Amino acid sequence: MCGRVALTASGEELAEAFGLDEAPRLEARYNIAPSQPLLVVRREHGRRHSGNLRWGLARRASGEGEASEPGGLLINARSETIASKPSFREAFKRRRCLIPASGFYEWKKTGGRSRPFFIRFRSGGLFAMAGIWEPPAETEPDSAGACVILTTEPNSLLLTLHDRMPVILPPEGYETWLQDAVTPGALRGLLSPYPDEALVAQPVGLAVNDPRHEGPVCLEPPGPEMDAQGRLFPDETAD
């Protein structure tokens, strides 16, 4: 599952990494949550452009096995079944997008609590998660549309945290993912777990747990925390 994303790069960095003609105006985001705007890169008329879509598709069919929010938004789609799921198969054929990120968060259950980790490239910099998108529904005329993030089996690093991870695309696969005319086999070849040696999972504090929290505080190391009764419990780091 992928339930929180960070995108802290500048517009110039994004344009260079994803081959955009124009650098978008970006505000650093450290705690992007479902239902909020999520920046995506799409291809139209042979050129790439960026824009915001709502993170989460309205549930229109059975989403068994998919990650969703309490409000009913589908936020993740399993890559293994995306070509056959009624909720996703048309978008998988025709409406694929790149979802740029500086990193994403995952939670590990330990000591009866869930501790957040920030997953990023070991070398730093941007990467792209595989996404699909839908145009706005008739009931949402002012919306730009919505998107979901594809997930796959975890690599050995993510397996210590969760049983799913987002599909991270290699840069050489960006154009294939965005093309209109592409074979299902070429797409399936991009949906494997990303090599674990390229990623780092750094423990962070509990600020990211609340989507109202924003800014670099979300990436600060874990420190002494209070439980629900106001009692101090000791710092925890990765096992």
C-alpha closest to that of 56 among 31, 38, 80: 38
Query: Are 53 and 36 a contacting pair, CB within 8 Å?
Result: no
2 belongs to the catalytic site: yes
CB proximity list for 89: less than 8 A, separation 6 or greater: 82, 83
The alpha-helical segments, DSSP class H, found in 148-208 are 156-159, 174-178, 184-188
The alpha-helical segments, DSSP class H, found in 123-230 are 156-159, 174-178, 184-188
Query: Are 229 and 150 a contacting pair, CB within 8 Å?
Result: no
Of the candidates 97, 106, 134, 147, the residue annotated as catalytic is: 106
Residues taking part in catalysis: 2, 106
